[in-house]
Structure 1
Amino acid sequence: MKEDFLWGGASAANQYEGGYDQGGRGLSINDVELAASHGHERMIHENIQKEYYYPSHQATDFYHHYHEDIALMAKMGFQCYRMSICWSRIYPHGDDELPNEEGLKFYDCIFDELLKYGIEPIVTLHHFEMPLALVKKYDGWRSRKLIDLSVKYAKTVMQRYQHKVKYWITFNEINSLFIARTPWHQAGIVYHEDENKTDIMFQAAHYQLVASAKTIIEGRKINPRFQFGNMILYNCCYAMTCHPLDQMMLHNKLLPIYYFSDVQVRGYYTNTCKAYQKRMNAHFDIDEEDADILKEGTVDFYSFSYYSSLVEGRETNQSADGNLLDGGRNPYLKTTDWGWQIDPLGLRLSLNYIYDRYQIPLFVSENGLGAIDQLENQTVYDDYRIDYLRQHIQCLKEAIEEDYVDCFGYTMWSPIDIISAGTGEMKKRYGFVYVDYDDLGQGTGQRYPKQSFYWYQKVIQTNSEEL
């Protein structure tokens, strides 16, 4: 691995930060979402109801533990930390005239603490946490008004932190807008029975793509040294058989994955995009200046999440779960407690597929294992997590060293235990550090390094020579 390869971890404010009613922060879309369980969708309320528990309100309380948590990241040897800024902490209603200074100061403290330890911040501007007020006032990303409002927010934080942050990611897993049955996290949208879901979905996608490009254009004016990336939910996918129809089904499965990255990397709606639009019979409005904005505001690097792989074909035998995506079961792979198929080689293949298509630097922004951990003797003996990460990092090394894929960093999801995005649970744990909270947010909040904490410490110390 190159000496300047960036090792670290990744998290999202809505799953980690907490402090939902402190520091002048406004409500986000997550703050009215209840917890659920595997296989069940989270219920969304119009407003907070006191008798219910909302996981994002406390999450795992980074808001009050950031000194301790960043020190733990530094102890592991992190060279970077991918995090997100909560839009409603900066603009409580999303369309406020002036930003919330207390919120800006909070992130000043975070970045100063990271830089004190030599940890490079990699900041996601939109990670499923738009202000709730924008849903109530504008119907979320159904409205073109959100383009300029989101760019105003982005400009505010880019100007504020231009000397502290170099790497920016515009939208987290932007293609999941096409995958989610209810794109509440992605766009603040709950479909109505009487509306054309496809047209709403494609219109919201277009607005986010324009917002991403416009943010990049404005960011480069602020600091030409900024590096901008997209972020794609990427599941490696295989055809069930060598039958040509299975191969065609695989091709179609990948269209919504490449739809967004084609625009963000190449700057226009490619033949792949147009084919998907036609296949879905999608109609949406495009303003005259949008094409020029998309062309100018392309990304510098491609970042993606990778957790598992799926199978596609005419007769898939059993269904398998994944990160929003679902597909057929692969008989050659084991699964996690949540039914996600474990496929380290799929990461190497994915890196090759993406790099061959786009030929720009790559960044693995999420990869990890959600599991039920047991705290024993103030630690967790998580050999299963070590085994998962070891195999994936080995395949990452092979893609870089043997296949000559240009990849400059890897951030494991997530360094500290956080609540699940899909269910709001705590029991689905990803971290190197155990946090003493349960599914109802009860516990001490105390942090306990797991066995994997010390393993990853060695991985970083040796630049992955010791796995």
Structure 2
Amino acid sequence: MGFRKDFLWGGAVAANQVEGAYDVDGKGLSVADMATYKPNVDVKDYKKNVHITYDDILKVKEDKSTKFYPKRRGIDQYHRYKEDIALFKELGFKAYRFSIAWTRIFPNGEEDTPNQAGIDFYKNFIKELVDSGIEPIVTLSHYEMPLELALKYNGWADKKLINLFVKFSRVCFESFPEVKYWLTFNEIDSVTRHPFTSAGIIEDRTKNIEEVEYQALHNQFVASAMVTKLAHELIPGVQVGCMLTKLTTYPATSKPEDVLAALNKNLMNYYCADVQAKGEYPKLILAYFKRMGYRIDMTKEELDVIKENTVDFISFSYYMSLLAAEDEDGLEMTAGNTIIGGKNPYLKVTDWGWTVDPVGLRISLIELYDRYQKPLMIVENGMGAKDEVTKDGSIHDEYRIEYFRSHISEMKKAVEDGVELIGYTSWAPIDLVSAGTSQMSKRYGFIYVDEDDEGNGTLARLKKDSFTWYQHVIETNGEEL
């Protein structure tokens, strides 16, 4: 009753958080290159960390520094990927999820021909994985769209991006046919939480921001369906998945109004996966658009494309759960994955205020499988923590081991409940620049990277205690935790 024999154990990263080399071999600027490290901002206040104005962008664009733009330097995996993949092979990885930076293939997003140096890099990267016995799982869009498309078109608010994204995807499919698992958009639902990072929408140049966010989402749904169709045409045996931020929400009390508040949050969280997995908009979201007076430009032809090209599997991130109530003024609030929500008094929290809820992962798996009846893949799960290196170079991270042990245990129970789970890639197997706070000190990995928040350090890789633990988990296919 345990995990399937071909279960895809591994780890996950995003190009913009690990590669660095932001101006090497013809790469263009992406929205991620605008993200700044803000040492004086409370890391638990996500909104203050992601808000950026049009004028900010123009200033940052001309700044060639990397000190306060950590995603420009990452952990230099662009030059060190062979070393990192060797460590992943030692861990016993069956799979590695990463993203392809659009700006390495089309630096500004609109070039007539792709950048061959970018294609060559990913060809070599993928070959190294395959030669190491590691299945590549590739995300096409992971918070790193070309900056020029944001400035010129306000990102995904404009339908012109659909064909540009399809063009980029075609180059990827034709260049990397050995990749059999593709994800279209990372945490696609996040457009309504951080529109610039996720969709290139510049908020202070946008009227009716929420309506525009939903238009951008629709445009991404169309693009996702089109590239799903294209992948099936070009790559034999390919599997294409959508990717959801699983924001599991409980009612703060058994008061019916609180239960309704939690239900509404969960339904809104599901809606993007509903469109991509079921092929049509939920009637509840269409009613919401009507009630709010939103006029989303969606044609019959676009809706037909969505209907005819649903995804093969559902992938998702899961980090924590939150509470909801009719009156949230009475709730103690805490941070989460790109969101703020009610704090559950029954749960512990990380240094960054995220609740730790392994049972919530089991609940999420059961809910998702019951709703979609498609294979599931957990492509992000982990905890950010402060690690200390001892004098002998050891990192004793029992807290991380306990986090993963408790979550994988509940994951196994969900499989025994009947959930069809095909893979698990931890976030992240190696320390990287945090998506929300742009910190290195928020460490996720089984592998420590010697770099601080301002980029100081040797970039040396060190194995943490959790490295050996996860290695044994994979060796025993999750039977010994």
What band does the TM-score fall into relative to the shorter chain?
Answer: over 0.9
* CA RMSD across the alignment: 1.3
1:275 aligned residue = 287
The answer to whether residue 267 in structure 2 is matched with residue 252 in structure 1 is no
1:116 matched to 2:128? The reply is no
Residue 185 of structure 1: aligned partner: 197
Q: CA deviation at 1:326?
A: 1.9
Alignment partners' CA distance in 2, 1:279 and 1:417: 44
> Could you give the per-residue CA deviations for residues 112-166 of structure 1, whole angstroms, max 9, x where no partner exists?
000111100000000000011111222211110000000100011011111x100
Query: Deviation of residue 254 (structure 1)?
Result: 1.6
1:228 matches 2:236 = no
> Shift in Å at residue 194 of structure 1?
6.3
Q: CA deviation at 1:107?
A: 0.3
Cα distance in 1 for residues equivalent to 2:86 and 2:345: 42
Q: Does the Cα contact within 8 Å between 2:382 and 2:427 map onto a contact in 1?
A: yes
Match of residue 382 from structure 1: 397
TM-score (norm 1): 0.97
Match status 1:64 vs 2:83: no
Secondary structure of 1:92's match?
A: coil
1:82-121: CA deviation from partner (whole Å, max 9, x where unpaired): 1000000000110100001110000011110001111000
Instruction: Supply the distance in 1 between the matched residues of 2:188 and 2:135 (Cα, whole angstroms).
Output: 23
Q: Is the deviation greater in 405-414 or in 270-279?
A: 270-279
Question: What one-letter code is carried by the residue in structure 1 that aligns with 2:293?
Answer: N
C-alpha displacement of 1:186: 0.5
Secondary structure (helix, strand or coil) at the match of 2:207 reads coil
Taking the aligned partners of 1:48 and 1:442, their CA distance within structure 2 comes to: 23
Q: Residues 223 and 248 of structure 1: is their aligned pair in 2 closer, same or farther, counting only changes over 3 Å?
A: same
Q: One-letter code of the match for 2:354?
A: W
- Deviations along 1:30-83, whole A, 9 cap, x unmatched? 112211250241455321324662111111110011000000000000000010
1:399-418 equivalences in 2 (<5 Å): 399-401=414-416, 403-418=417-432
8 Å contact from structure 1 (residues 31, 48) kept in 2: no
Q: Tell me which residue corresponds to 2:147.
A: 132
Write the letter of the residue equivalent to 2:89.
A
Deviates more, 1:388-397 or 1:283-292: 283-292
| Runs of 5+ unmatched residues, structure 1 | none
Please report how far the alpha carbon of residue 279 of structure 1 lies from its aligned counterpart in structure 2 after TM superposition.
4.7
Change (3 A) 1:449 1:397: same
Q: Is the 8 A contact 2:226 2:309 kept in 1?
A: yes
C-alpha displacement of 1:292 = 1.0
Among residues 449, 460, 463, which one is paired with 1:435 in the alignment? Answer: 449
Aligned letter for 2:124? Answer: C
Match of 1:332 among 343, 346, 350: 346
| Structure 2: distance between partners of 1:13 and 1:138 | 23
- Decide whether the 8 Å contact of 2:334 with 2:342 is kept in 1: yes
Check the 8 A contact 1:125/1:154 in 2, yes or no: yes
Counterpart pick for 1:154 among 169, 176, 179? 169
The corresponding residue for 1:6 is 8
> Does the C-alpha gap of structure 1 residues 242 and 7 become closer, same or farther in structure 2, counting only changes over 3 Å?
same
Q: CA offset at residue 379 of structure 1?
A: 2.4
Closer/same/farther in 2, CA of residues 400 and 280 from structure 1, 3 Å limit: farther
Aligned to 2:27: 25
CA contact (8 A) 2:30 2:146 kept: yes
Structure-2 separation of matches of 1:194 and 1:126: 22
Paired residue secondary structure (2:172): helix
Q: Which amino acid aligns with 2:477?
A: N
- How many Å separate the matches in 1 of 2:35 and 2:452? 17
Q: Percent identity?
A: 48
In structure 2, what is the Cα distance between the partners aligned to 1:29 and 1:251? 33
2:254 to 242, 248, 255: 242
Contact 1:334 1:341 in 2 (8 A): yes
Give the drift of 1:263. 0.5
- 1:174 is displaced (CA, Å) by 0.2
**Does structure 2 retain, via aligned residues, the 8 Å contact 1:255–1:276?**
no
Partners of 2:205 and 2:263 in 1: CA distance: 30
CA distance in 1, matches of 2:175, 2:283: 39
| 1:346 partner letter | G
Equivalent residue for 1:210? 222
Distance (whole Å) between structure 1 residues aligned to residue 166 and residue 117 of structure 2: 20
Deviations 1:391-422 (A, max 9, x none): 00000000001x10001000000111000110
Q: Secondary structure at the match of 1:232?
A: strand
- In structure 1, the residue matched to 2:299 is 287
Deviation at 1:314, TM superposition (A): 2.5
Residue 265 in structure 1 maps to residue 280 in structure 2: no
The Cα offsets for residues 344-398 of structure 1, whole Å up to 9 and x where unpaired, read as 0000000001111000000000000100111112121000000000000000000
Contact 1:216 1:228 in 2 (8 A): yes
Please give the alpha-carbon distance, in whole angstroms, between the structure 2 residues aligned to 1:344 and 1:32. 34
Shift of 1:278: 3.5
Partners of 2:201 and 2:180 lie apart in 1 by 31
Deviation larger for 99-108 or 222-231:
222-231
Q: What code does the residue aligned with 2:370 have?
A: D
Q: Pick from 295, 301, 311: which aligns with 1:299?
A: 311
Query: How far is 1:327 from its partner?
Result: 1.4
Q: CA deviation at 1:179?
A: 2.5
After TM superposition, the runs of 4+ consecutive aligned structure 1 residues lying more than 4 A away are none
Take 2:210 and 2:313, find their aligned partners in 1: how far apart are those partners?
29
* Range 235-244 or range 119-128, more displaced: 235-244
Structure 2 residue corresponding to 1:369, chosen from 366, 383, 387: 383
Contact kept? 2:196, 2:203, Cα under 8 Å: no
Q: Is the 8 A contact 1:174 1:260 kept in 2?
A: yes
Secondary structure of 1:400's counterpart equals helix
Structure 1 position 223, deviation (Å): 1.8
- In the alignment, which of 67, 92, 95 is matched to residue 77 of structure 1? 92
Of stretches 194-203 and 327-336 in structure 1, the one that deviates more from structure 2 is 194-203
Question: Could you tell me how far apart the structure 2 residues matched to 1:151 and 1:293 are?
Answer: 13
Alignment coverage as a number of residue pairs: 463
Shift of 1:277: 2.3
User: Closer, same or farther in 2 for the Cα pair 1:369/1:58, shift >3 Å?
Assistant: same
Equivalent-residue separation in structure 2 for 1:198 and 1:456 (angstroms): 42
> What letter is aligned with 1:68?
E
Contact persistence 2:248–2:266 (CA under 8 A): no
> What letter matches 1:383 in structure 2?
E
Task: State whether residues 191 and 213 of structure 2, in contact with CA within 8 Å, keep that contact through their aligned partners in structure 1.
Answer: yes
Residue type matched to 2:252 in 1?
M
In terms of fraction of residues, the more helix-rich structure is 2
Q: Which residue of 1 aligns with 2:49?
A: 41
